[in-house]
Amino acid sequence: MHVVVTGATGGIGSWIVESLASAGHEVLGVDLERPPGQREHATFLAGDLTDQGTAWELIETADPDAVVHCAGIPAMGIRAGGETFETNVLSTYHVLEAAGRANAEVVWTSSESTYGMPFAATPSLPDSLPIDESHPQRPEDPYGTSKLAGEVVARRTVRAFDVPVTSLRPAWVSYPGSQQLARVREAFDPETTAPGDEGSGNFWSYVDVRDLVSLVEAALEADREGHEAYLAAAAENYLGRPTAATIEAVYGGLPEECALEGDEAAFTTAKAREELGWEPEHTWRETEAEEAVEPSFLDG
Tell me the CATH number at 156. 3.40.50.720
CA distances for 58 relative to 3, 6, 54, 232, angstroms: 12, 10, 6, 29
Q: Kindly indicate the confidence band of residue 197, based on its pLDDT and cuts at 50, 70 and 90.
A: very high
For residues 6 and 94, give the distance between their C-alpha atoms in angstroms, rounded to a whole number: 12
For residues 184 and 239, give the distance between their C-alpha atoms in angstroms, rounded to a whole number: 8
Judge whether 245 lies within some domain.
Answer: no
Judge whether 219 lies within some domain.
Answer: yes
Judge whether 223 lies within some domain.
Answer: yes
> Average pLDDT of 163-171?
98
Judge whether 163 lies within some domain.
Answer: yes
For residues 49 and 3, give the distance between their C-alpha atoms in angstroms, rounded to a whole number: 16
Q: Which residues contact 21 (CB under 8 A, 6 or more apart)?
A: 27, 39, 40, 41, 42
For residues 80 and 92, give the distance between their C-alpha atoms in angstroms, rounded to a whole number: 18
Looking at residue 12, what is its pLDDT? 98
Looking at residue 123, what is its pLDDT? 87
Judge whether 202 lies within some domain.
Answer: no
CB 70 within 8 A of CB 108: yes
For residues 165 and 107, give the distance between their C-alpha atoms in angstroms, rounded to a whole number: 6
Number of structural domains in the chain: 1
Looking at residue 122, what is its pLDDT? 83
Q: Kindly indicate the confidence band of residue 110, based on its pLDDT and cuts at 50, 70 and 90.
A: very high
pTM above 0.95, yes or no: yes
Looking at residue 121, what is its pLDDT? 82
Judge whether 167 lies within some domain.
Answer: yes
What is the domain extent for residue 167? 2-175+207-234+267-281
Q: Which residues contact 118 (CB under 8 A, 6 or more apart)?
A: 111, 112, 144, 201, 202
Judge whether 214 lies within some domain.
Answer: yes
Identify the CA nearest to 95 among candidates 30, 44, 146, 171: 30
CB 262 within 8 A of CB 201: no
Beta carbons within 10 angstroms of residue 33's beta carbon: 10
Judge whether 151 lies within some domain.
Answer: yes
